[in-house]
Amino acid sequence: MSSPSHVPVLLDRVVALVAPPLQEPGAVLVDATLGLGGHTEAVLARCPEAHVVGVDRDVHALEAAGERLAPYAGRTTLVHAVYDEIPDVLADLGIAAVQGVLFDLGVSSMQLDVRERGFAYAEDAPLDMRMDDTEGLTAADVLNTYPAADLARILRSYGEEKFSRQIARAIVREREKAPFDRSARLVDLLREVIPAPARRTGGHPAKRTFQALRIEVNDELGVLRRAVPAAIDALAVGGRVVVMSYQSLEDRMVKQEFAARSRTTVPDDLPVVPEEYRPELRLLTRGAEKASPEEIAVNPRAASVRLRAAERVRGGVAA
């Protein structure tokens, strides 16, 4: 099996955002998408009082992160779970509230770099795409069993693919000859179906379809829709949530949840806002922050990152 590499995106900025409430003894950060543990390693190094609960649905990532974080074994708890299960994870650990939650969304370095996982369209590989490869439908299952209408909906909704219906019809036609099982055949089909002018702009012609399949296989948007409110609810007052997303659908969802919880509904000219009407969150970023050209040059995966962060200022448990 090929080996993964790992360059954490926006590492210094992320640590700077989560660090302030992690300086007190007993402070807990939930790294909800642990991956290979790069962000957690930096937090543990720079926040000596912090304990990190590292959550990941990928058992291979948990194993690799455990090796990386071995020097901090006494300050880490690694849990195999999906990140919308944060409330259950914390309840099982007897933790009432935390001082930080970090999300680094999308596909991880390990999943992209290990060819056999089937996430990358640049190399021929089995059409798997499961972040937890111990259960659930694969991308091949989706391609070979979903009706054309459902395939088109997924490609349009999750991949923002303009040619979703044409692609879906072609998939259904071709799978009647032989089931899809490897990525190269799907990539060849996409090159045939997508018109030449469209192939010359907007990056690789398979990018949007592979994104859509990955989101469907892993229910990424459904998980995120549940996870962000759960993360905010888990924060103590003064705790912070930091989210890095890599495509517009995720970022829009995070933006809307943060906006809803950071505004008040009382009139602007009210001299005193009652406690129950004050916002739960204070935004720590102006819009979505992006990686610098310098970081993108070193780590191309940072090119599409959008970072948002907020601090809990009302509700929850007092810090």
The listed CATH number (3.40.50.150, 3.90.79.10, 3.40.190.10, 3.40.640.10) that belongs to domain 11-110+220-312: 3.40.50.150
Phi, psi of 103 (to 5 degrees): -120, 125
Binding site, annotated residues: 37-39, 56, 83, 104, 111
Measured CA to CA in angstroms, residue 294 lies from 90, 297, 298, 307 at distances of 38, 5, 7, 17
What are the domain boundaries of the chain?
Answer: 11-110+220-312, 119-218
| Three-state secondary structure call for residue 301 | helix
In DSSP terms, 289 is beta-bridged to: 307
| Three-state secondary structure call for residue 55 | strand
Return the residue matching tokens 């999906």. 82
Mean pLDDT of the chain: 91
pLDDT bucket at 134, cuts 50 / 70 / 90: confident
Provide the residue type at 255 as one letter.
K
Number of H helices, E strands in the chain: 14, 7
Per-residue model confidence (pLDDT) at position 249: 92
- Rounded-to-integer distance, Cα 223 and Cα 221, Å: 5
Identify the CA nearest to 55 among candidates 70, 77, 23.
Answer: 77
Query: Which is more confidently placed, 115 or 123?
Result: 123
pLDDT bucket at 2, cuts 50 / 70 / 90: very low
Work out the number of other CB atoms within 10 angstroms of the CB of residue 285.
16
Q: What pLDDT, in 10s, does the model give residues 147-156?
A: 999 999 999 9
Provide the residue type at 154 as one letter.
I
Provide the residue type at 258 as one letter.
F
Residues 6+ apart with CB under 8 A from 151: 142, 143, 164, 167, 168, 171, 172
Per-residue model confidence (pLDDT) at position 4: 45
CA 207 to chain centre: 17
On the question of pLDDT at 3 being above 70, the answer is no
Q: What pLDDT, in 10s, does the model give residues 256-306?
A: 999 999 988 776 666 676 777 789 999 999 999 999 999 999 998 899 999
Binding site, annotated residues for S-adenosyl-L-methionine: 37-39, 56, 83, 104, 111
Measured CA to CA in angstroms, residue 181 lies from 118, 123, 128, 262, 310 at distances of 10, 13, 8, 46, 42
On the question of pLDDT at 110 being above 60, the answer is no
Q: What pLDDT, in 10s, does the model give residues 154-212?
A: 999 999 999 999 999 999 999 999 999 999 999 999 999 999 888 777 678 898 999 99
Q: Please give the CATH topology (third level) of the domain spanning 119-218.
A: DNA polymerase; domain 1 (1.10.150)
Per-residue model confidence (pLDDT) at position 81: 96
Q: Are 235 and 101 in contact (CB under 8 A)?
A: yes
- Rounded-to-integer distance, Cα 73 and Cα 69, Å: 6
Per-residue model confidence (pLDDT) at position 283: 98
Q: What pLDDT, in 10s, does the model give residues 56-70?
A: 999 989 999 999 999
pLDDT bucket at 6, cuts 50 / 70 / 90: low
Q: Are 46 and 62 in contact (CB under 8 A)?
A: no
- Rounded-to-integer distance, Cα 164 and Cα 278, Å: 44
- The pTM of the full predicted model, rounded to 2 decimals, is 0.89
pLDDT bucket at 10, cuts 50 / 70 / 90: very high
Work out the number of other CB atoms within 10 angstroms of the CB of residue 226.
17
CA 275 to chain centre: 33
- Rounded-to-integer distance, Cα 70 and Cα 91, Å: 25
Per-residue model confidence (pLDDT) at position 111: 54
